[in-house]
């Protein structure tokens, strides 16, 4: 299944839980949203540095 980049947004509410970047393991500050078909959205979390390289 192909994932198509939709947009990037800041993590606003983390409910007191620390989220980590899927690329480097640092604390995540951004969420990348990808459309994967059938109305499904995949959310991946990234730090500021790695979010610049999201395809």
What pTM was computed for the model? 0.84
What's the number of CA atoms in the CB half-sphere (13 Å) around residue 14? 13
| Domain layout of the chain by residue ranges | 4-51
The DSSP symbol for 27 reads B
pLDDT digits (tens, 9 = 90+) for 14-53: 788 999 999 999 999 999 999 998 999 999 999 999 999 9
User: Residue 5 — pLDDT band, cuts 50, 70, 90?
Assistant: very high
């Amino acid at each position: 299944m192909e994932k198509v980049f939709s947009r990037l947004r800041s993590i606003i509410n983390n409910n007191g839980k620390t989220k980590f970047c899927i690329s480097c393991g640092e604390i995540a500050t951004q969420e990348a949203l990808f459309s994967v078909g059938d109305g499904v959205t995949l959310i991946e979390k990234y730090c500021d540095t790695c979010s610049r390289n999201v395809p």
